[in-house]
Amino acid sequence: MTERQEIILKLIVDEYVKTAEPIGSKALADDLNVSSATIRNEMSILEDLGYIEKTHTSSGRVPSEKGYRYYIENILKNLDEETNGFFEFDEIFDRDVARDEIIKEAINLLSEATNCTAISLGPNAYHSKVKKIQLVPITSHQALILVITNFGYVESKQISISQEMDTDELIKVIDLLNEMLVDTPISKVSEKLHYEIQHSDIKELLKYRETIVDSFIKAFSKFARSGYYLTGSSNMLYQPEFDDIQKLREFITTIDNNEIFRIVDQDSDGISVKIGSENKVTAMSDCTVITSSYDTLEGEKGSISLVGPTRMDYRKVIPLLKYIARHIAKLYEEE
Amino acid sequence: MTERQEIILKLIVDEYVKTAEPIGSKALADDLNVSSATIRNEMSILEDLGYIEKTHTSSGRVPSEKGYRYYIENILKNLDEETNGFFEFDEIFDRDVARDEIIKEAINLLSEATNCTAISLGPNAYHSKVKKIQLVPITSHQALILVITNFGYVESKQISISQEMDTDELIKVIDLLNEMLVDTPISKVSEKLHYEIQHSDIKELLKYRETIVDSFIKAFSKFARSGYYLTGSSNMLYQPEFDDIQKLREFITTIDNNEIFRIVDQDSDGISVKIGSENKVTAMSDCTVITSSYDTLEGEKGSISLVGPTRMDYRKVIPLLKYIARHIAKLYEEE
DNA sequence: TTTTAGCAATCTTAAAACTAGAGTGCTAAA
DNA sequence: TTTAGCACTCTAGTTTTAAGATTGCTAAAA
């Protein structure tokens, strides 16, 4: 691709992102001080190369998925990323409130600033360790099991206490569980619990307390889903891409069914951009999903994602997403 | 309204619910063994009375809001409510899993069976009382405030502990708070806390611990939102009422912004049906919201609601909603 | 008094026809 | 290599047309 072709591709993407209308040769002629015929020739080449396409035989051009890819990987790279100018976000990160709240607000603002759907996933408690297990009596025959982790996650589960269990025994069970499970990663609890019941000498004590053990396992499993937050799906529905009612319905259905989970690329490191058909979910075939992952010092993993039409303002969105992910990661490093 | 007019109204509602198309006089003539001209005369009267209306001058008739109202209050009342035949639901209620899970599943199935959005609200902790307040240290400068209520609700809030606070003092604060707040309804906590800080002698101790007190209030306020669950909004979007893309967008936006809270009628007892413009939120002006409230033995209040197009199958939906609410209430009575 | 047949009038919806405008591709000249 | 010119293509919006459904009204029938 010649330099001029690259410039033309850039102009097409930039303009199309703004207007959502196909770009004709005439519009670019003014910008480049050449005639529209010259642009037409260049466009024809760009089309042969697969970077742009027509919506019909006599329309202007729109970027193809390959065109967006090239734009992101070759053109944006050479531009200075604007990492300042995000002061609305700085304000959020400076606030002295709980991490969860900060993330929520950042995600809210992110979705508002981009008109895309923003998703935050994790770091969830799945990788943290048991700090304390506690039993709190509620009534004479009801109690609450509390599980608290070293990162401050809490889950609870109500249990019924039948007549035959006496309080001393219950306390003994809790003490034993604490002894056994403190410092165990949440992800290993179930396994360890089952193993110990089979093999150690507390087996006797726990064996016929199956309900209690079950309740514990249920309380633990609640941790896995924590840290999921999605917002702003309504913002992007007003984009012209969703003028097609069938697409709109499909998109909402996908979100409603939590299928968006399947879309977020949790495995990659750093930033991942999935354009259009690169997403496996069909309802997302006109969308781009950008995911920025981060690790905490403790080895936890989290990510924030942005879902929007392929025609999104990558130049603004990518640096912004990186910036926010960096700051969220920092929140987890501070302690 | 004569008997025949009532029958005609019933037929119009029943048919319109099924087809979403205006009903003409010809269609009803077959059912009633009179000529279409006779039906036309009757329809004309029903229209003058405001029970049905035309979509344009030469169209068939559709029920008006007043027509639906009459149908629900006068026509449905005389039909036997089918309370059996809900065995898919019975199965859910018989399961031996946590209340929350049962409610979730019932709501899911409800929305699926009706193609409407189903919402469950409460019983939330708002009416329960403080059982215990607890501080759990996480690290040397981080701790967790736990608030546990007499119904077993738990909320937590992380706080930072600055250097200058020493542990003994913190424990004293917690003890004081416990003394002050145990048995206080969650709804009164904030008020009481502020009052005591102003007036009692603990004022000195608490006054310059504003962050802690703030954290407490935040933890408490989390209770208010508990027990909220919404599902199935995507089901109803495929109804012809939402062929209008603008309406569709408005509806989604309303849900996305949690405005649906404002729609659920929490005050009424028993069943409440809000038809079309009776809902205050404009995006709901073509929807009906049916809410069925229930009380638990402890005086807690909860409700399940169904949101769908005004053209919904009231005959099926209302008994179903009542049935489910009754069973959910029972869940709370059992213990 | 109630019901019905007949018929003109009204309106919707879908398809077809038309028009203006934007953009392309190609050719030949600069 | 660039450009001007021009025929050709396609869209999108508007208008036209036609078919079909339903009503309201009138006058006759029950």
Q: In chain A, whose CA is at the least distance from the CA of B128?
A: A138
Region B214-232 average pLDDT: 78
* A61-70, A326-335, B141-150, B297-306: range with highest mean pLDDT: A61-70
CB contact under 8 A, A142 and B150: no
Split at pLDDT 50, 70, 90, the class of A229 is: confident
The reply to whether A38 has its C-beta less than 7 Å from any atom of strand C is: no
Rounded to two decimals, the pTM is: 0.78
Rounded to a whole number of angstroms, the distance from the CA of B158 to the nearest CA of chain A is 6
Q: Are B8 and B31 in contact (CB under 8 A)?
A: no
Higher-pLDDT residue of A284, A213: A284
Does A80 or A319 have the greater pLDDT score?
A319
Per-residue pLDDT at B262 = 72
pLDDT of A205 over the 90 cut: no
CB contact under 8 A, B233 and A218: no
- Residue B96 is predicted with a pLDDT of 65
C-alpha span between A190 and A196 (Å, rounded) = 10
**Which residue type does A324 have?**
I
Model confidence band, residue A227 (pLDDT cutoffs 50, 70, 90): confident
Domains of chain A, start order: 3-78 (1.10.10.10), 87-122+227-333 (3.30.450.40), 130-224 (3.30.390.60)
Question: Which is more confidently placed, B219 or B131?
Answer: B131
Check residue A204 and give its pLDDT. 65
Structure confidence at residue A294 (pLDDT)? 87
B240: nearest CA in chain A? A245
| Å: B8 CA to D22 C1' | 17
Residues of A in Cβ contact (< 8 Å) with B243: 245
Mean pLDDT over A136-145 rounds to 80
Q: Are B161 and B170 in contact (CB under 8 A)?
A: yes
Q: Is the CB of A19 under 7 A from strand C?
A: no
Percent of chain A with pLDDT over 70: 88
Highest mean pLDDT among A141-155, B151-165, B208-222: A141-155
pLDDT of residue A267: 65
Task: Find the closest chain A residue to B129 by CA distance.
Answer: A138
Residue A135: pLDDT band with limits 50, 70, 90 = confident
pLDDT at B206: 61
pLDDT greater at residue A109 or residue A332? A109
Show residues of chain A in contact with B160, CB under 8 Å.
96
Give A149's DSSP letter.
E
Mean pLDDT of B35-48: 96
Beta strands in chain A (DSSP E): 52-54, 61-63, 117-121, 130-139, 142-149, 154-160, 228-231, 271-275, 287-295, 301-309
Instruction: For chain B, count helices (H), then strands (E).
Output: 13, 10
pLDDT tens figures, B248-289: 999 999 988 877 777 776 666 789 999 999 998 888 999 999
Q: What pLDDT does residue A188 have?
A: 84
CB-CB neighbors (< 8 A) of A255 in chain B: 234
Question: 């008109």: which residue's tokens?
Answer: A115
Predicted pLDDT at A277 = 93
Hey, are the CB atoms on B144 and A148 less than 8 Å from each other? Answer: yes
Confidence tier at A185 by pLDDT (50, 70, 90): confident
Rounded Cα distance between B269 and B49, Å, is 30
